[in-house]
Structures are given as structure tokens and as C-alpha cells.
Amino acid sequence: MTDRLAPLFAPRGIAVVGASADPAKLGAVMARSLAGFPGTVAGVNARDVDPAAGRWASVADAAADAADPIDLAVLCVPAAVSARALAEAAEGGVRAALVCSGGYAEAGGPGVGFQADLVAAAADTGVALLGPNTSGFLAPGRALTASFVPGAAAVAAGPVAVVAASGGVNHALAFLLAEAGLGVSLAVGLGNAVDVTAADVLAHVAADPATRAVALHVESVTDGAALVAAVRAATARVPVVALVVGRNDVAEFARSHTGALATSWRTTRAALRAAGAVLVDDERQLVDAVTALSALRLDPSAAPGVGVVTAQAGPGLLHVDGLRGHGIAVPPLAPGTRERLAGLLPPLTYQANPVDTGRPGPGFADVLAAVAADPAVDLVSAYALAEPDALDLPAAVAAAGARALVVGLGGPAVQVEPQRRALRELGVPAVTSPAALTAAVAALVDDARARATAAESVPVARAEDRVYRDLDEDEAKTLLAGLGIACPPRRACADRAAAHAALVELPGPVAVKLLDAAVTHKSDVGGVVLGVRDPAGLDAALDALEAAGARRFLVESMAPPGVDLVAGASRDPVFGPTVLLGLGGVAAEALADVAVAPAPLTAAMAGSLADELAGRALLDGFRGGPVADRAALGAVLATLGDLLAAHPELDAVEVNPLRVTADGLLALDAVVTLREADRWS
């Protein structure tokens, strides 16, 4: 435990400030919730003092009579007086406070000031403050239910810590984990998180030997660096599974396409993934993921192989389909393994991987053992419907002796639950459906991949000469070319005569563009004319560009056909430099088929972003098109990320389109912009 949070989550005594004889009031509800706590629980209410009933005038008075030091104050008072109540509690010796009431910044108006006063009081006193505006926390192993939610005390102690932005989500997850037979080591709702943050609680639970996995719920992030550092540190000991809210929220559009596409949801997920977290899409997946990871963690591996054994073909097919959709390797089994399986199973069963036993039977343990022993298999995933007369599944699993095994078990609850409990006692994670099994396996594989990636060294970008102003397209391409990013032949032209000379010098046909650093989207203002082949066509193009406001021109050889991408790096206000790859052209923002990652990063890491795109088939020679060199693409993205990381004055660099051609990658347009503060310095 971190010293600062020990008084909060492991107090010796607790004071409920705002305790009341009225059973409906929050103070009375919290006192009832804390009734099972084995240490001192004292009520404080200066207007209703009754020591015989457990209510004192102040925390100091309660502490003077208490058998245990009072470390934690639970404030159940109106927002307007909470700062004063916190200061008085600190004078009485408390070192931590939980503020459950609402009416702070989330309510607007005067609440903003009430929250500021509360934060100041915590800072002045050094009290660790959880909340405000939260339903509290649970520490079942300490019989500590600091929550006003009915039934929270029924959640059992277990191996999963919940760190949730929302008090409601905290309790919802705790109940789901209890339903899954897991329980929690600690379940915390952060509320407004004005002092104790997700990063703080992650550090706390990562050091707790009772925690074997963390369920992290994220709504918004104010300090990206702190959260990323906390997740990275935590995953070195325990897996972290993250559910990020906001898939359909679109952040305020920045000036470049890159800024528009890198929404906060995408960037938050990318940053957490890079830090080692496993990502899920909903609370059921989160529970299935921590069910697996709290019992089992694979060795780090870039591509763990999964051997699938199913006692029923249909559910097995659903499971394998889900695994392949997740990009998980289900490798063919070795000839020796298949020979052994042929001696164990009827001849018409499928034995290549997945392995379909046809029905559960007495040889099920031997099948599991054979698949587990295959050299390409790192994890065995087994599914069966409960058929107690045909198969004692826990006994078969125990006999198989597989080192890494996860089980999906379906059927009536009266049959399934005892078997799931028995499997958990064997240290084998057990879930209830093919979809849950897929989520569990995906979490194990993603965690192994993340830990393998964490071992890769990320280059440290070196700062070069400072950029003092926004660059026009020619200057931006000169910068990129110096970094090894290829561009078509071009000429920057100050007048029409220079443009005509460029037409003669450059391989044709050519594109003619308005050249002005202030115009980032030239096509929107009619600033691009394509396919110019002769002087007459050039004069017509120049007329059109001058009508659009051009005073300088860029004449550039047309690129060969190919697949257009958008590649860029932008400075996220929370997480810092971030690279983006997506489908390019005018449809980029509408489709939003993009992948993002924090920078700096290795070329290999950057190249793997292409595999996250829904349109990735377009990069692999679709209908005779060019094949994207993943290594070259990764090098471009890593270079853009390094550029931003090395130049704090830059706000964004965007290549759109970056064209995949038969001869390699070409940057057809480029925009480099400065941050506002540096633009005028």
C-alpha cells in the first residue's frame, strides 16, 4: 500500500460526519453500511450529540473517546459546508476523507466554488480526499463497506480490484464480479476525483498482494502522463483491463484532419494499450477478461497460439470465429499431435484445430493433454455443455494437467455453478458462453502481446533546429524529404513564368497548387488543379488558382495510381504526441477508419497500426492494387512521431494523402503547423 492511501482504504477508525438519527438521511445510511467494520465507527453531528448513541460533537471529541485512532472521515454534509467539515476533521486527526455528497463542479453554479474550497482544504491539511460526488468504495477483505448502495456488503472478497470513474459503475462491476464468483479486493468509485485519482488507486492496488487483476473504467482523463505511467507500472505486476467510455463522442475538430480523427476515445484507448492495458468494449467483456487474467497470465509473446477443444461443434465454431476475428492464432496441430488425437477420437471428428470431440466422454482429459503438449499451442481453450452423466469436467481438467487452460461451460445454473467453482479452485478460469470464452482468451493473448511489446525499446527523439513558423507545402515536403519520406518531383514558383518553366522541366502530367502556409485544405477553396499537360492547360489552371487567391504556385509531377492513406502526428492535449494512420482522401473523416498510437514509437509498433484498419485489405494488393510495405509505412509513422516529440513547438504534421504505389510510398500533400503559443513567439 502507498502510505498516503492506507488511511483511506485501510483505516483503523472511521468518523461519519453528518451522522443522523433519521434513518433516511445519508449519514445514517453510511453508518449502517459501516456497521460491520471491526474498528471504531463514530458518528459526528454537532447539532445532535448523543455519545450513548454513538454521536459526538466533533471528530476530535470522538477520537478522544475512541479505542482506535480515527484515520478516515466519511463526510455526509452539504457541499457548501464540506470544506469546513474537512478542515475540522483534519484537526481531529483524520488523514483521509470520503465525500459522498453531490452539488460540486458537476452541478455547475455555486458548486464550482464549493469544489474549489474542498480541494484547497484537502491541500492545506494533507488529507487524502476521495470524491466528491461518489457512492464510495468497498474493501470486503477488511469488512469495510464505505458505500450507501444497498447490498454492497454482500460482495465477497476476491482477486479483482475495480477502479472506476463512476461510483455507479464501480458498484455495477462489483456486483457482476460477485455474480461471476470472483469478488473484489477493492472497488473504488472516483467521482469527481479532485484529489485521489485513478493513477493513485492503480498504484495502491498494484502493490496489494490480494489483487491479481484490475478492472479499470475510464470516462475522462486530465493527466494522461500520470495515468499512462500508473498503468505501465501496474501491468508489470498485475494485468489491467480497461473499459473506456466515449466511442461515439467526437472531440472538437482541430485544424488538421489528424486532429479531427484522433478523438479522445481513440487516443485514450491507444495510450492505455501502449502502456500495457487490455482493452474491452463493454462491462461483460471486462468481467470475462478479469475472470481469466486473475487466474492465469501467459508468458510474454507477440503471437500466442491457441488450441481449441470443443465437445459441441456449433459453440466451438462460434468461438473460433471470434478468435480469428480478433487476429488470434489458432495454428494447425503438429502431425504427432494429430496422430495421438486419432487414437483418442472417432474418425469423423475434426482434429486439426479446433478439435471437436463429438461428445464429452472419458477421453476428454487425454484430448486436452494432447493439445496442450503441441509445440505451437501456448493456451488451451475448451468448451463443453454440462453433461454430468457423461463427463466430470473438473476431474478431466485436473487429470489433463495443462499449464494454461481456460474453460467455457454452458448449461443449467444448478449444474454449471458447482463445476465452475471446482474449476476456479483448480486455478482454471471458467466462463459461461462461447462469446465469454472468446473475450477471456482474447484478454490473455492481448496481455501476453502487450508484455512482449513492452520489452521493445522505444527510441528517444532528438531535437533538431527549431521551426519558427507554419510551413507551406513545399517547405513541409522539404522537411519530410530530409527525414527520408519520398515526395514527387516539384517546383515552388513565385510567378507564372516560373510555373511554365517547371512544366517543361518536370515529368508530366503535373498538378498545380496554391502555395500558402495559411491554407491547409487547398481543395476546399479550389486551390488544386490536376492533370495539366500543356501550356494552355497550365494557363487555365493558373487563372483558376489566382481567382482562388493564389500568389505563389506549386507545380508537381502527378503520382502513379495507388491507395491513399492519411498519416500524421498531432499533439493531444492530454496524452501528448500521437501518431495516426487511416484511409486517406476526402472520405477519411466520414469513414473514420483510423488507428492511433502514442509517440515516440518503434517502426515495428507503428507498422502494426495498418493491421487495425477495417480497410487493411486495400493495402495487401486488393484487386491487383499495390501492396503496402509495412516496414516502410511504420518507418514513416515513427518518423512523424519522432518529429513531433523532438519539436515541442510543433502542433501537428500531416501527410494526406500518403499514397501506396507499386514503387513505394509517396507523400502527395503535407501540412506542418506550430502551436499557437509558438506561432507568435
Question: DSSP states of 81-143 as a string?
Answer: HHHHHHHHHHHTT--EEEE----SGGG-THHHHHHHHHHHHHHHHT-EEE-SS--EEEEGGGT
pLDDT at 348: 80
Please state the pTM of the whole predicted model. 0.92
Q: Are 395 and 363 in contact (CB under 8 A)?
A: no
Break the chain into its structural domains and give their ranges: 1-133, 149-294, 297-454, 489-557, 563-679
On whether the CB atoms of residues 261 and 270 are closer than 8 A, the answer is no
The pLDDT assigned to 256 comes to 37
Q: Per residue in 248-264, pLDDT tens?
A: 643 432 333 344 455 58
The angle, 0 to 180 degrees and rounded to 10, between the axes of the packed helices 224-235 and 264-274 is 30
Write out residues in the chain with pLDDT < 50, as ranges.
1, 249-260, 680-681
Domain 563-679 in CATH 3.30.470.20? The answer is yes
Q: How many CA atoms lie within 13 A of 340 on its CB side?
A: 16
The CATH architecture assigned to 489-557 reads: 2-Layer Sandwich (3.30)
Asked whether the beta carbons of 76 and 101 are under 8 A apart, the reply is: yes
β-bridge pairing 72-75 and 490-493: unpaired
Instruction: Report the topology of domain 149-294.
Output: Rossmann fold (3.40.50)
What is residue 61's predicted lDDT score, i.e. its pLDDT? Answer: 97
Q: What interhelical angle do 364-372 and 335-342 show, nearest 10?
A: 170
Q: Give Cβ neighbours of residue 583 (< 8 Å, ≥ 6 apart).
A: 564, 565, 566, 591, 593, 594, 613, 615, 618
Per DSSP, which regions of 423-509 are E strands?
430-431, 490-493
The dihedral sign for the CA sequence 318, 321, 323, 329: positive
Query: What is the CATH class of 297-454?
Result: alpha beta
Other C-beta atoms lying within 10 Å of the C-beta of residue 359: 15
Q: Which three cell numbers stand for residue 138?
A: 468497498
Fold match flag (1-133 vs 149-294): yes
CATH no. of 1-133: 3.40.50.720
Helices 283-293 & 167-179, crossing angle to 10 degrees? 50
Closest CA to 632 of 557, 560, 567: 567
For residue 309, the surrounding DSSP H or E stretch is: strand 306-310
Q: Which residues contact 108 (CB under 8 A, 6 or more apart)?
A: none
Distance CA 453, CA 451 (A): 5
41-72 confidence digits (pLDDT tens): 999 999 989 998 899 999 999 999 999 999 99
Residue bearing cell 528517444: 460
Question: How much is the pLDDT for 590?
Answer: 67
